[in-house]
Structure formats: structure tokens, C-alpha cells
Structure 1
Amino acid sequence: MLLDIQARVKQVLRATIRSLWSIDPPDVILNQTPKIELGELASPVSFELARQIKKPPRIIAGELIARAGKIDGVEKMEVAGAGYINVFLDRAAAIRGSRLGAFATEAGKVIVEHTNINPNKAAHIGHLRNAAIGDTFVRILQATGRKVEVQNYIDNTGVQVADVIVGLQQVQKKTLDDVRRLIGDPSVKFDYYCWDVYAGVTPFYESHDPKHALRAQTLKEIEEGGNDTARMAETVSMTIARCHLRTMDRIHVHYHLLPRESDILHLKFWDYAFRQLREREAIFLETEGKNRGCWVMRLEAEGYDEDKIIVRSNGTVTYVGKDIAYQLWKLGLLDQDFKYDLFDEKQNVWVTTSSDGRPDHPAFGRGETVYNVIDVRQSYLQNVVRQGLIGLGYEEQARRSIHFSYEVVTLSPACAEQLGIAISPEERKRPHIEVSGRKGQGVKADDLLDTLESEARTEVQQRNPEFTPAETAETAHQIAVGALRYFLLKFTRTAIIAFDFKEALNFDGETGPYLQYATVRGNNIVNKLREVQPDFDFGRVHQLLDNPKFAVFLNEANDIWELLYMTLRLDEIAQQVIMTLEPATLAKYAFTLAQRFSLFYHRYRIISEEDPERRLFYLLVVDLVRETLTKALDLMGIQVPRRM
């Protein structure tokens, strides 16, 4: 495993520094070299030492190399430039070692909270970015051996749910029985229906209730429970939560637990947190101004005053207040627990409840580390939650509750028009079109996926007319999901995305279909060999690892070694994603690997190579690369089609 070799190099250099100069060694950094001919790794540690030892970096580097001796997995080390230590790996040993390695598993559960769609309408494209980022991070953590619990928080007592209830009761004039009939009507997509209801509430408030008195009253009734308004909110929110699960299942995103905000209130989690916040004087009762009668967080940071409100003057709890109680539970800081029911047996998804629940539930909560995947617009609110934990004396736990932020998703003008969104001539000139669920301007996730699958189906039919309808549908789905997930991951999380169908579905360039095609190409090479030589023993390919000719072939072709060296870096890339919270690193890595693989199979004859041992070597290269590409795609939640 490449990470093991890097760890050994760092350990030896640190020990050598202590031995030579009797000082505490600085951090030993290993960077990738600009060219494979210069070795694989380079350390600038000599420059750091030069200030302490008062010697030129080149002299220090030379002394370190001379004293370090042989390092397992390293062929040699050389002084480069003004004093870098360049490390040349034992190529054959590195490849052989990669077949045996495994991550050292860290202790403690990791909780990743992601998706978190308000259960008041259909999911939209922005929710897909949250889910793709969160699910990819979960997959990477699990691949490194971490125990991960995935939670999707259901805000079923918040403003958005209250607004759609106001829309149903006041605008649509629906009773609870009417809503139940709508849900049972197979011709009605209930999450789509509520999308339109929600969009109609804003103009209703403007004309009939500018002070939002109905919203405040509805929130109060939902929190109190035991009335038709609360029952309607429960019915609507949990029905839409099921719709969201179906949507996310389409892109291979799943969860372990749906914690419900209502249960935080009904099980008195909030009461405990509120008492603690008051006793610690982390919050205070405002006695004047527009926030009079509200309990407010003591926070000097800039932000809107209303964002610091924990309890409103009418006694209802804000999102921030409930989230503080939720964070306490996730970190195992409450002496209480939810009750649990099985929500979706097929996906094995559990949900919290305030009633009896089931005794055979898994153990939830008590995370050692918590990641909260929430968009960047919630950064200030997340800081308020963090300050709440600190105010309660939980500084270390607050440090381990991490806001995994990301930017929003917009649409390219062409994409917006293709989805039927009316845009003005002025908007057509803009780089992106912003969307708003409250205004009803947006792209429903299922509509986007349907369009992607339709476009992909046309391409698959043209390329593979012999496919059955079922094969066409399956392949189109895999390509559509690959296109979407890769597009949402390839941009750094701080970048605003303008989604575009043509760009996402392109089989060339930096796209999911391009990566899928490269992997399929590798699989096809192996399949073609089996057609040409049905009796070929594929076990001979990996036996080449122990053949002395393997090292000869590796050392004579730097371009092939550079390709194989990239396959060794997948574990390192996974660790980088965890450390930097940047999934785009994995996406860029996979694209570069696919590009170099394309160069390889266009440059070398593989099946037609006449030298039997060299052909085995080329087949081994194909096998190692296709295996790594498959793993990288799986980490991004992307499947490899059988054919493309």
C-alpha cells in the first residue's frame, strides 16, 4: 500500500534527523514530483532543517540519505535541485504491496447527516448535490474502514412545513381527509402537488397575511400536537419523506436513520437543552426591541439578529434551538434516546418516534465525529449551533461537529429552457439561472433524472441497436446517474454549479460517461481475449507479479509505470478527501486516470502483442486500471454498464 511506504519514509527520515542532530524533527512532507523520471515523491524537509542546523539544504539532504539506509519499498533516494530529497519507489514491490494493504481502522462511529430536505415538496437539483456529496463522503469513509451512520434529518415542524399546511388549509381549502384522499390517488404525485401549493403561499401571505400570523399559529399547533393541523403536518411530511427516499434511491443514495424534529420536542430533548443553556447563561431573555420576549443566543459574530433567536416570543422553538438539542444527541451528550420504528423495510431505513417503537432497533447516535452536510448559506446558523455547544461547555465535541458546506446549484440558460422554464432575453445572456422553490422556479429532481435518462436512452439505442428494451433502460439509467453524480462532484464544493445536460452527458471530456466508457473499454479488452482464447488461464496474468520480468517491464516504460502509479494513489486520494472535505479531488483523480488509460490502450497492442510475457504484462496493466477505475466510480456512487 502506497500510504504504508510514505509512512515508512517519513518515519525513517524523522528517526535519522534525531540520530544526526539530536533535535525534534519537523513535519516531514512528501509531495508528488512534477515528472516520474524524478522519482515519485519529494520532500523539502532539508529546507526546514537548514534554519536550525545552519547548513545548506543540499548538504543536509545528502547526509540524511547517506544515514537513512535501505527503506522497504524504496529503490533509492537522491538529492535534487537546491536540496530536495527525491524518493524513487521499488516499482514491482509497490505494485505487489498494493495487493495486500488495508487501512488502519480508526476507533469510534462517524455520523454523517446529509440530504435533509424540508418535507414540504418534491426534491430539487440542489438537494441532489447535497446527497451526492454526502453519499460519496460516506462511501469513502466506509472504504477506509470507518463505522459510519447515515442520518437524514426530517424537519417536520419547521416553517416550510407550516407554510405548505397554510397553503392546503387556507388557499386550497383542504381538510385532513381531503389530503389523505390526494395521497391515495395514484394519478397524483403528492410531492409535486405540494410543490405548487408551497409556491402559492407567498402571494397569499402578501395579499392576506403580510405579518404571517397564520404561519405563527400553524407552527404553534404543529408543536403542540393533538390537533388536525398537527395531524395534517405529520401526514404530509412523512408522505413526502417517502417520496424523497424514492428519488434518492434512483441515484443510489440510502440512509440508516431519519431523525424527526417533532420527536426532539415531544421527547423533551429540547427542554433539557434549554435548561442547560439558561443555567450556563449561553442564552438570555430579550426585554426590549423587536426581539422582546425571545430567548437569544449570546453571540458577537456578525449576522442577522433573528438568526440568534432560539425561542420565539410565542414559545415556539426555532430551527437553531432544535438543532442544538439534535447535535447534543448525535454526540452522545444527552441522557436520553429516541424510540425507533422501521420506516422502509426494503431499504432498511429506521425513523425516530415518540411512541413505543420497536425494541429490536440498531444502536443509533453517540458519534465520535459528526459531519453536517449543509449548504454554505447556512454557515452562520451552523456557527450559532456550534456556539450553543461551546456555551454548554462542550468545546471538544463542538470541534468534532463539522459543517461540511457546499455552494448552490443553478441551471445553464439552455438547461432551463429545455426543462420548460421561461427565461427572458436578458437571462439568456447570463452564465446561470438561479432557482427558487418558494417562487416555484426550480427543477424537480425526478424531472431532471427523467430527462437525463431519456437523453441517455437515445444515445444507447443509437450505439447498441441490438439491446433489448430492458438492457437499454438499465444502461441508460446507469449512464444518467453517472453523468449527474460526476457533474455534481467534479466542481470544488465552493463553486456555484450551472447544470447543463449537453455537458453532463458528453461521452468525451470530463464527464461521468467518459469514465464509464474507459472502464467498459478495459472490461471489453478482457472479454475479447476470452473470446479469442476461450481456454486462456487468466490466473497467469497475476502470477506475473512474482516474475522477474515484471520489474524489467515496469522499469523500461515510464509511461506505463506512471499509469500504474496512479492506480496506487487511490487510497491516498481517499484520505485527502477525508482531510480536506473535497470530493472533487476524487473526481479529478478518476478523470486523469481514465485519460492516461486511454493513451495506453491506443499506444500499445495488447491482445495482438506477440511476446507472450509482454502480453501478460499489458493485460495486467489493463486489469489493475479497470479495477481501480471501478473502485473510484463506486466511491462516487457510479455503476459501470456492461456495454456502452
Structure 2
Amino acid sequence: MFEKVVEDLKKSLRDALEKLGVSADEYPTLGIEESKYCDLASSISFKLVKSLKMPPQKIAEEIADNLEISSPLISSFEVKSGYLNFFLSDFCLQETLRRIERENENYGFIGKKGKIILEHTSANPNGPLHIGHARNSAIGDSLRRILQKAGYDVETHYYVNDMGRQMAIVTFGLRRFGLRDLKGDHAIGEIYVRANSEIEKDEKLAEEVDEILRKYEEGDPEVSEELKRAVEIALEGIKETLREMNVHHDVFVWESEFVRRGDVQRVLEELRKKAEVVEEEGALILKLGDEKVVLRRSDGTSLYITRDIAYHLFKASRSDLCIDVLGADHKLISSQLSRILEILGVKPPKVVTFEFVSLPESSMSTRRGLFVSADEVLEKLVEKAYEEVHRRKPEAPEEFKREVSRKVGVGALRYDLVKVMRDKPMVFSWEEALDFEKQGAPYIQYSHARASSILRKSEIRDINEVDLSLLKEPQEVSLIKALGKLPWIVEQICESLNPHLLASYSRDIADLFNDFYRDLPVLKAEREVSEARLHLVLCTKIVLKNSLEMLGIEAPEEM
């Protein structure tokens, strides 16, 4: 409902500005934002000071004199300190609840259209996913779910880097050491660490790695079979971890496809025509302003960026928008990629960068085997969740406790990785990740289970037969207003690609619901009030469930 109020306000403000001879085209948001002094405020008067040569208060007063509010969702407005403050109507609050129940699992849909290809995770298949990769997965999969809820057709990709030096090192290690009986990605990771150690001791061994890399690109059958086997073993383990994290990819695209079918060669030919490409000591170089980008090594093998250009041409031809979720260390190469795509006349992707999750004592390094694996984190979180569930419900069936523990453990991990703004680094802490008393996913899941429990104990009448105007207590009004914001939050995330906004919103709903539940009786209230409050509980349950699902977190009916 909030997004409808914003649209109504925009229309009224545009009309008022037009009467004053001001074009609203330069101010698409019209300065509309949330405020602690009202339900919505507009700071447009401050933006017009320079052009109108008047103080903000005077501008706001003139806008107010020409402002006609026809929306039944807005009850009143005022001018205060240069701001235009707006207040929601009782009708808006009641209609919010009716809309939530009417739309139910579709609440949050905002009618977006278009095909998006979203690539995320795409970790090298040379070991298990670590906690840093898991942040990529949590951000990427949450964005997929939110964009799909908004209405977009979203296809998710995992780009398999089978042509990098890492996989040549793994193949070298497989020849020497063989596989131990471990989960596939862990077995490959062990080989990768051991092979790197051997190569560091004897640099001549690197020549064999170079030979593997060259022969794989040439399509040598024996080497191709060896290397593909290593990739597939690692990928099976990675896919298992992703399934445990409730992360889904539609397509696994192998990097080598673009070399094998000639796409990389066509990229080189196009760049020769449209950009300054020169040879230096046998290598093919693209001059990009003051920068030089190597497109092909002197031995004839391609580089990651060249193959990535071909991959992005492939994605762009099959979508309206491409989104890449990448670690902050990819900023330079993604900037170069975007500039090269523009040279080729192709719309660059939207790049969603995130800062890393680090260990308190050091950085993540797969090569040195220094990382916390996502598997290890999940296992410990589920174990801790089981202890908590058993403490709360020792008499519950074992199957129930195990199932709830899994939902809570996975939810705790995903929420922890998404709740922080993606441009802020995280220091991973076992103590914080395993703290089930803080207001993280378990708290939100428990709020959903509490709402479910209340509803199981009662019969609920049709909302059109209930007097919703009885919901006037401050705790009720605050909760209803917040519930109405979900589609608006989805809209904001579609624009910013910041899923932490939904994590914060979900926690706020849980807070407001628990305040309401603590202060006001539901089942023991007077009959008519109880009936109205049950609908508020039902709407809270719907919003919490939809929000959690968009974050890839299951919403238990019981905990």
C-alpha cells in the first residue's frame, strides 16, 4: 500500500509544481521519503531553492497552496520547517490489511516485466565454498527471489571457470596424489593445496601445469577428460552445499564453451575492427585509454577477461538486463569489461559488488587452505539450533527437532550474510553466528511461528465482516503501517540491488509484532476487538513468510 501512497503523492506534487511553472522531470523522486515526524515527507522545496530563489519554507507554503490531494489513502498534510509532511488515512490502514489477505503469497508483487540473467557465486571449482563465497550466494539468491517476486523473469547462472590455472593445478595434483574418500569439493580442495605446496618447492613443476592449461584450451582429448573429471567432482560437492543453503541456479555455464565454439575468436576479430589492438612480444593487447588489457597470451591461450567478454555477449543476447554479483576484488576487471562491452555496442551488466567476509586472524585463501568452509559453518549452526530447539521442546518428536534445527541453522547463516550492507566488510565470528538470542533469522522465524500458533487456537471470520476500525492502539497502527511497506521495500531493492533492506525490514516487523503481542491481548480481548486483531496477526504472518522466503529462509509453523 505504501508504494501506492507514494505514487499518489508524486502525481499531486507534480500537478502542484506545474501550476508554479516548475518541471518535475529533474526531480523523479520529488524528495519523498520516510520521516519520524509523519508517515511520508517531501523535501522538494530544498531542491528548488536555487532555481526559485526563495527559502524552503516559502517554497513549501506555495506548493501547499496549489496542492490538491484526491487520494483516499492520505488524510492530511502540513508544512513544517520547509518540509511537506503527509499522514495516512484510516481507510489506508484498513485497506492495507484487506490487500495483504487478498494477495497473500503474492503480496510484494509490483508488476515488473523483463528477462534478467543474474550470475552469482561462480566460485572456482578447486575446493569447497568458504564463508566468503557463501555471502555471494546469499546475496545473489536473495536478489533472485526478490526480483522474481517483483515480477521479473529471472534466470540464474553459475559461471564455471574450468579454463583457469587453478584447474590445471588440480589436474596436476590428481595425477600425483589421487583422491581421498571425502566430499568431492573437499577432496579437490585438499589436492589443490597440496599441489600448490609442491609447485612452490620446485618451480619446474609449473611447466607441467602450463602444458595442461595449453592442451586443455587446444582440446586435447586426454587432458580434457582429466580436467573435466576434476571440475565435475568439485561441482557435485559445491552443488550439494548450495542445496543445503537453499540456493538455486538454473544454468551452470562452462567457460570453455566460448572457446570451443569460436566465440572468443569472434570477440578478438570484432575488437580488432572497433578498438586499438596491438601485438607486443607475441601477446595480443587492447589499449583502453591509459590501460593495457591482455586479450591473448604469447603462447596463444586466452585470458579470463576475453572469455568473460564472450560470455557477456551470450547473456546480453538472451536478456533485457544482466546482473553480476562479484567480490570487491573484481572491481577493476568488471570496469574494464563494461568499457569493452560498450566498444562492442553491448549494454554492460549491473555489477553488484560486496566486501569480503574475513577471519579475525587472517584473510581467506583457498590456495593455502586457510578458510572457514560453508559446510563447516552450516553443520555447527544446525547443531547449535538443535540444542536450542531441544531445550525449548524436549518432548517433541526427534524428526520435528531435526527439521526445525535445519531450517533455523540455514536461516541463521543466510540472514547473517545478507543483513550487513554489501559494501561493508564483515569479520566472521563463530560467537556472533551462533548467538541465537540476537535479533537475527531465528528471532524472525520464531515471530512467524508465534503468529501461526495464535491462529491455530482460533477461528477467523471473513475480513469483510470484521470492524477493522477498532485497530487504533499505537502498537496496532505502527504495525499496520509497516506491513504496508513490503511492496515499497521490494521496489527499493529492484532499484538499488541491496537485499539488506529486506533483512532490516523483516526484523522491524518482528519487533513491532512482538511489541503488539506483549502489550495487547488477542484471544482474550473483547470479541469484536479480538476478531480484528486476529486479522492483524494473519497479515503479519503473511508478510513475515513472504519476506523470509525472499531471503531464502524457511518460515516454520512451529518452533
Whether contact under 8 Å (2:158, 2:251) holds in the other structure is yes
CA distance in 2, matches of 1:23, 1:576: 24
**More deviation, 626-635/96-105:** 96-105
Whether 1:3 and 2:9 are equivalent positions in the alignment is no
Whether 1:604 and 2:530 are equivalent positions in the alignment is no
Give the letter aligned to residue 269 of structure 1: D
Whether contact under 8 Å (2:31, 2:44) holds in the other structure is yes
Whether 1:578 and 2:466 are equivalent positions in the alignment is no
Whether 1:32 and 2:40 are equivalent positions in the alignment is no
Give the drift of 1:322: 0.3
CA distance in 2, matches of 1:189, 1:32: 49
Whether 1:617 and 2:532 are equivalent positions in the alignment is yes
From 589, 596, 605, the counterpart of 2:505:
589
TM-score by length of structure 1 reads 0.81
Whether contact under 8 Å (1:452, 1:480) holds in the other structure is yes
Match of 1:13 in 2: 13
CA distance in 2, matches of 1:22, 1:256: 48
Percent of pairs with identical residues = 28
Match of 1:346 in 2: none
Whether contact under 8 Å (2:167, 2:227) holds in the other structure is yes
From 121, 133, 136, the counterpart of 1:127:
133
CA distance in 2, matches of 1:317, 1:111: 25
Give the letter aligned to residue 88 of structure 1: F
Kindly provide the CA deviation profile for residues 252-292 of structure 1, in whole angstroms up to 9, marking residues without a partner as x: 11111111111111111111111111122343212xxxxx2
Match of 2:309 in 1: 324
Kindly provide the CA deviation profile for residues 312-332 of structure 1, in whole angstroms up to 9, marking residues without a partner as x: 111111111100000011001
Match of 2:167 in 1: 161
CA distance in 2, matches of 1:75, 1:383: 44
CA distance in 2, matches of 1:50, 1:440: 58
Give the drift of 1:574: 1.6
Give the drift of 1:402: 1.4
CA distance in 1, matches of 2:13, 2:450: 42
Whether 1:250 and 2:244 are equivalent positions in the alignment is yes
Whether contact under 8 Å (2:12, 2:69) holds in the other structure is no
Aligned pair in 2 of structure 1 residues 207, 156: CA closer, same or farther (>3 Å)? same
Match of 2:151 in 1: 145
Give the drift of 1:460: 1.4
Match of 1:512 in 2: 441
Q: Matches of residues 182-221 of structure 1 in structure 2 within 5 Å?
A: 187-209=181-203, 212-221=206-215
CA distance in 2, matches of 1:484, 1:188: 24
Give the drift of 1:24: 5.1
Secondary structure in structure 2 of the residue aligned to 1:573: helix
Whether 1:629 and 2:544 are equivalent positions in the alignment is yes
TM-score by length of structure 2 reads 0.93
Give the letter aligned to residue 304 of structure 2: Y
Whether contact under 8 Å (1:294, 1:309) holds in the other structure is yes
Whether contact under 8 Å (1:110, 1:148) holds in the other structure is yes
**More deviation, 143-152/22-31:** 22-31
**What is the root-mean-square deviation of aligned Cα atoms in Å?**
2.1
Higher relative contact order by CA 8 Å / sep ≥ 6: 1 or 2?
2
CA distance in 2, matches of 1:200, 1:228: 23
Give the drift of 1:605: 1.3
| Count of residues paired in the alignment | 550
Give the letter aligned to residue 327 of structure 1: H
Secondary structure in structure 1 of the residue aligned to 2:427: strand
Whether contact under 8 Å (1:74, 1:87) holds in the other structure is no
Kindly provide the CA deviation profile for residues 107-135 of structure 1, in whole angstroms up to 9, marking residues without a partner as x: 42111001102122222211111111000
CA distance in 1, matches of 2:212, 2:152: 42
Whether 1:488 and 2:417 are equivalent positions in the alignment is yes
Match of 2:56 in 1: 57
CA distance in 1, matches of 2:276, 2:309: 12
**More deviation, 632-641/443-452:** 443-452
CA distance in 1, matches of 2:433, 2:70: 45
Aligned pair in 2 of structure 1 residues 148, 82: CA closer, same or farther (>3 Å)? same
CA distance in 2, matches of 1:521, 1:24: 46
Secondary structure in structure 2 of the residue aligned to 1:152: strand
Secondary structure in structure 1 of the residue aligned to 2:341: helix
Secondary structure in structure 2 of the residue aligned to 1:371: strand
Whether contact under 8 Å (2:264, 2:307) holds in the other structure is yes
**Structure 2 residue ranges without an equivalent (≥5):** none
Whether 1:298 and 2:287 are equivalent positions in the alignment is yes
Give the letter aligned to residue 266 of structure 2: Y
Whether contact under 8 Å (1:544, 1:616) holds in the other structure is no
Match of 2:357 in 1: 409
CA distance in 2, matches of 1:94, 1:560: 10
Give the drift of 1:389: 0.9
Secondary structure in structure 1 of the residue aligned to 2:445: helix
Kindly provide the CA deviation profile for residues 360-410 of structure 1, in whole angstroms up to 9, marking residues without a partner as x: xxxxxx11110011111111111221122122233xx02xx1111111112
Whether contact under 8 Å (1:456, 1:476) holds in the other structure is yes
Give the letter aligned to residue 505 of structure 1: L
CA distance in 1, matches of 2:235, 2:402: 26
CA distance in 2, matches of 1:460, 1:411: 28
Secondary structure in structure 2 of the residue aligned to 1:405: strand
Whether contact under 8 Å (2:184, 2:236) holds in the other structure is no
Secondary structure in structure 2 of the residue aligned to 1:455: helix
Whether contact under 8 Å (1:150, 1:257) holds in the other structure is yes
From 437, 452, 464, the counterpart of 1:523:
452
Whether 1:315 and 2:263 are equivalent positions in the alignment is no
Match of 1:357 in 2: none
Secondary structure in structure 2 of the residue aligned to 1:443: coil
Whether contact under 8 Å (1:225, 1:231) holds in the other structure is no
Match of 1:567 in 2: 483
Secondary structure in structure 2 of the residue aligned to 1:259: strand
Match of 2:342 in 1: 390
CA distance in 1, matches of 2:187, 2:436: 36
CA distance in 2, matches of 1:299, 1:514: 51
Give the drift of 1:300: 3.9
CA distance in 1, matches of 2:417, 2:156: 20
CA distance in 2, matches of 1:22, 1:483: 50
CA distance in 1, matches of 2:503, 2:239: 25
Secondary structure in structure 2 of the residue aligned to 1:442: coil
Secondary structure in structure 2 of the residue aligned to 1:70: coil
